[in-house]
Amino acid sequence: MFALADYLLHLESEPLPRDTDAQTAAALLLQRVTCAVPVTGTVYGTLLNDRAALSALGDAVHEAPYKAPPKAPILYVKPRNTLTGHGTCVTVPDNVAGASGPGIEVGASLGIVIGRTATRVAATEAFDYIAGYTIVADLSIPHASVYRPSVRFRARDRFCAIGPAIVAQRHVVDPDDLSITVHIEGRAPFVASTATTVRSVAHLLADVTEFMTLSAGDVLTLGVPFGSPVAHAGDTATMTIADWPSLRLSFVGPDALQGGQS
């Protein structure tokens, strides 16, 4: 069982996460602290759960290799090497063969944190299995294909930032109507919403647990909004969902972190 009372965050300077109220969490984060990932389970990303992303495929969704719109959630794993926390740096790789452009796509997604073992969960009972929610910066190298998600585009080091806090489920009235903002310094903010998803939180959890078990502490993302911005070396991105504490990342060139990482 994974349960929390309020806001769970893990300051990098402390050995364990702390469960605290919203005001204390905000005060700590104002000190520009660095945080570790507040959960230890498996992180699953979800593709094509945004209506605009599915619509953008157009007629191609009926052609090879897709042949039809997806009937079940399209999932991929963000492995342990990708996990990082609030206030850390991410390396922007040099141009990668097969990429549709330079830089890193900064996809801010709602992370659904599982509270107890979930197998064949009915949509009407889904919230009984959710401990809380968090911000997931699901990073990837821009690419056109979403068929069989590419490990080399999505699973690079620090390509999945989580936090800074997990917000207890009781504080979130409607997870299917939350604003999402990605602000890269010097640009207009990118604004999206969880209201544009194909599958709601409850239906996504029901459909996923129909064919696989999720465990306490696992994180299932609702999916990256279509048109998410691309960051380059030197950029700082701040991601916010609703009025929760923001998740901040800095992006650096390939040579910047030699000799150690922050």
The per-residue pLDDT for 68 is: 72
Mean pLDDT of the chain: 91
How would residue 145 be classed by pLDDT, with cut points 50, 70 and 90?
low
Range of the domain at 241: 7-252
The per-residue pLDDT for 166 is: 98
The per-residue pLDDT for 89 is: 96
pLDDT above 50: residue 142: yes
Q: Does residue 51 fall inside a structural domain? A: yes
Average pLDDT in the 127-145 region?
Answer: 93
Q: Does residue 1 fall inside a structural domain? A: no
Least-confidence region, from 84-93, 141-150, 157-166, 199-208: 141-150
Total domains present in the chain: 1
Average pLDDT in the 43-69 region?
Answer: 80
pLDDT above 70 as % of the chain: 92
- 179 forms beta bridges with 193
Selection from 211, 194, 226 nearest residue 57 by Cα:
226
Selection from 190, 180, 178 nearest residue 231 by Cα:
190
Least-confidence region, from 104-108, 150-154, 220-224: 150-154
Q: Does residue 248 fall inside a structural domain? A: yes
pLDDT above 50: residue 218: yes
- 249 forms beta bridges with 88, 237
- Structure confidence by residue, pLDDT tens digits, 87-121: 999 999 887 755 667 899 999 999 999 999 999 99
Average pLDDT in the 185-196 region?
Answer: 96
pLDDT above 50: residue 176: yes
The per-residue pLDDT for 66 is: 66
Q: Does residue 137 fall inside a structural domain? A: yes
Average pLDDT in the 137-153 region?
Answer: 81
Q: Does residue 148 fall inside a structural domain? A: yes
pLDDT above 90 as % of the chain: 75
Q: Does residue 257 fall inside a structural domain? A: no
Q: Does residue 259 fall inside a structural domain? A: no
| CATH code assigned at 27 | 3.90.850.10
Q: Does residue 237 fall inside a structural domain? A: yes
- pTM metric for this prediction: 0.92
